[in-house]
């Protein structure tokens, strides 16, 4: 393999703006998930989809602030529900605890 071939196959560097955006958005997603877990949002949604107002009442949280946290993951929804992936994860965690 010569130098020309190895550089042609090398992954291209991500533009610095995109790299920084990925880091910031990743941190934001992590924090939003931590807040949702701390407030018990997934448990509140276990039975059926709920509005932000219903979730805020159960979690004793500020409705608009909770809406902003939940909107990070979803767009244009007024009712939120547990995703299929989260249900699968909860099932797998139950198996691991046995």
* Structural domain containing residue 25: 15-97
Q: What is the DSSP letter of 15?
A: P
- Spatial separation of the C-alpha atoms in residues 61 and 35, rounded to whole Å: 11
pLDDT in tens, 31-81: 888 888 889 888 888 888 889 999 999 999 999 999 998 888 665 556 677
Whether residue 63 is contained in a domain is answered as yes
Whether residue 28 is contained in a domain is answered as yes
Q: Give the residue-averaged pLDDT of 77-93.
A: 63
CATH number, domain at 28?
Answer: 1.10.10.10
Pick the closest to residue 42 from 55, 29, 57 (CA basis): 55
Pick the closest to residue 49 from 92, 74, 81 (CA basis): 81
Total number of domains in the chain = 1
Whether residue 1 is contained in a domain is answered as no
Q: What is the DSSP letter of 73?
A: T
- Spatial separation of the C-alpha atoms in residues 96 and 76, rounded to whole Å: 35
């Amino acid at each position: 393999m010569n130098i020309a071939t190895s550089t042609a196959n090398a992954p291209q560097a991500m533009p610095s703006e995109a790299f920084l955006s990925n880091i910031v958005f990743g941190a934001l997603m992590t924090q939003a998930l931590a807040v949702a877990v701390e407030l018990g949002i997934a448990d509140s949604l276990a039975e059926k989809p709920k509005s932000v107002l219903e979730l805020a009442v159960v979690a004793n949280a500020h409705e608009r602030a909770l809406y902003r946290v939940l909107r990070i993951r979803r767009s244009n929804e007024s009712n939120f529900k547990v995703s299929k992936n989260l249900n699968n994860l909860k099932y797998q965690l139950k198996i691991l605890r046995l």
